[in-house]
Structure 1
Amino acid sequence: MSVYDTRRTMMVDNQVRPSDVTKFPIIDAMLKIRREAYVPDEKREAAYMGENLELAPGRVMLEPRTFAKMLDALDIGPADMVLDLGCGLGYSAAVLAEMADTVVALEQDEHLASEAEAILAREEVMNAVVLTGPLAEGAAKHGPYDAIIVEGGVGVLPEAIEGQLKEGGRIACLMMEGTLGTVKIGSKQGGRIAWRFAFNASAPVLPGFEATREFAL
């Protein structure tokens, strides 16, 4: 058993389970997927820390607690097609791929996207595909999706993303107001998304998801 295997078990036991995340598919996936493989080499020692891990300027891998609680609230099933927005180096896509039928992972940072594709191939994750493009536009040609997860802060959710969620589908967003954030879970009914509060968290707002300020004279 490697030191990373031990840290992975400790992450689940000390960060995930105490956050009331107990569903077997989530626990199993987070114990299986090698988080250290999906971070920059120089940050491997920090892979299992309980905080957001910077991947690029303004871009993070969400802390294990936040990510696990989002998965728990989304209740992803084995027949689901999931859109993973802002997949970074692919960790989230790999975990989701253990739980869902298919994962479409979108990344607009070309370096992160190419690295994610290479890592997922190396780790033999076969049911996740990485696409490169603007996060705010989503990946309509593969949708609509049973579930969408946004891997970073959201000021305003772009309409294009709302339109890619199936009727009855679920979406998890970390809504940021200044430095304060709340994860909200949306459910699409009658063509509209109804939101509920899930828990507090924080992350940098993703490009294209910034809230526009209205200036008045």
Structure 2
Amino acid sequence: MDFDALRRTMIESQIRTWDVLDPRVLATVAQVKREDFVPTALRHLAFVDFNMPLEYGEVMWTPKMEARVLQELDLQPQDRVLEVGTGSGYFTALLAKMAGMVHSVEDRADLARPVEGRLQVHGIHNARIAVGDASAGWAQHAPYDAICLTGSLPNLPEAFKEQLAVGGRLIAILGDAPAMTVRRIVQIRPGAFETNDLFETEIPPLRHRAAPPPFIF
């Protein structure tokens, strides 16, 4: 298959039509080989406009959503990024190409382990993969200039806003199926946040800590 031709078609017919016009984002999507990160049996579908299934009920976002979120994060070369939910590692690679350092957290070791190899093959050395539960925040390297939650949550834990640097951008998918919203939050000054709802989608939830039972007197 001519993956380069398919990639160009994907960019023109899916990504640009979703108002993704930042030349840095388009160049990054053109550079990172998406077909190297999808499940082998689905490699021929690497550029199709659908949420590609991964193990354990996880998915890769559609190509247009990956590019749109990358644009909304407005990454700079010095930025420190937190990604919650590593998945296949493709979006990790996109983040790493545009930012200074990416800390990606996956709660399943067998998903996280092969990602490191994929990133090395692509010459990406500024991403660190950790295994753990970051669904309520990940303080180890905070504050972050950008935070992206790749799975959905019913509500956003306050810890993520607390771990965001001033000027930092956060993207989260919030709500319950089928009504989920992709939300962008920017800390414009200490303790003051600007919030915008970007578009609706439906993404499998992050595995997260159950809320404690209510205390009954």
TM-score by length of 2: 0.90
Cα distance change of structure 1 residues 196 and 21 upon mapping to structure 2, 3 Å threshold: same
Cα distance change of structure 1 residues 185 and 213 upon mapping to structure 2, 3 Å threshold: farther
Cα distance change of structure 1 residues 175 and 137 upon mapping to structure 2, 3 Å threshold: closer
**Structure 1 equivalent of residue 182 of structure 2:** 183
| In structure 1, C-alpha distance between the alignment counterparts of 2:213 and 2:95, rounded to whole Å | 34
User: Any idea what SS the aligned residue of 1:57 has?
Assistant: helix
**Structure 2 equivalent of residue 204 of structure 1:** 204
Structure number with the bigger relative contact order (C-alpha 8 A, sep ≥ 6) is 1
User: Any idea what SS the aligned residue of 1:93 has?
Assistant: helix
State which drifts further: 5-14 or 187-196.
187-196
**Structure 1 equivalent of residue 75 of structure 2:** 76
Q: After TM superposition, give the deviation of residue 135 of structure 1 in Å.
A: 2.5
1:1-217 equivalences under 5 Å are 3-188=2-187, 189-208=189-208
Q: After TM superposition, give the deviation of residue 192 of structure 1 in Å.
A: 4.7
Q: After TM superposition, give the deviation of residue 139 of structure 1 in Å.
A: 3.1
User: Aligned letter for 2:174?
Assistant: M
| Contact map agreement 1:154 1:210 (CA 8 A) in 2 | no
Q: After TM superposition, give the deviation of residue 84 of structure 1 in Å.
A: 1.2
| In structure 2, C-alpha distance between the alignment counterparts of 1:27 and 1:213, rounded to whole Å | 46
Q: After TM superposition, give the deviation of residue 107 of structure 1 in Å.
A: 0.8
| Contact map agreement 2:82 2:146 (CA 8 A) in 1 | yes
1:51-106 C-alpha deviation (Å, 9 max, x unpaired): 11111222111111112111222211112111111011210111111111111111
| In structure 2, C-alpha distance between the alignment counterparts of 1:123 and 1:75, rounded to whole Å | 22
- Runs of at least 5 residues in structure 2 that lack an aligned partner in the other structure: none
| In structure 2, C-alpha distance between the alignment counterparts of 1:149 and 1:93, rounded to whole Å | 10
| In structure 2, C-alpha distance between the alignment counterparts of 1:15 and 1:107, rounded to whole Å | 28
| Contact map agreement 2:105 2:132 (CA 8 A) in 1 | yes
State which drifts further: 67-76 or 153-162.
153-162
Q: After TM superposition, give the deviation of residue 199 of structure 1 in Å.
A: 1.5
User: Any idea what SS the aligned residue of 2:12 has?
Assistant: helix
Q: After TM superposition, give the deviation of residue 120 of structure 1 in Å.
A: 0.8
Matched pairs, number = 213
Cα distance change of structure 1 residues 147 and 33 upon mapping to structure 2, 3 Å threshold: same
User: Any idea what SS the aligned residue of 1:147 has?
Assistant: strand
Moved over 6 A (4+): 209-214
| In structure 1, C-alpha distance between the alignment counterparts of 2:158 and 2:65, rounded to whole Å | 24
User: Any idea what SS the aligned residue of 2:135 has?
Assistant: helix
Q: After TM superposition, give the deviation of residue 153 of structure 1 in Å.
A: 1.6
TM-score by length of 1: 0.90
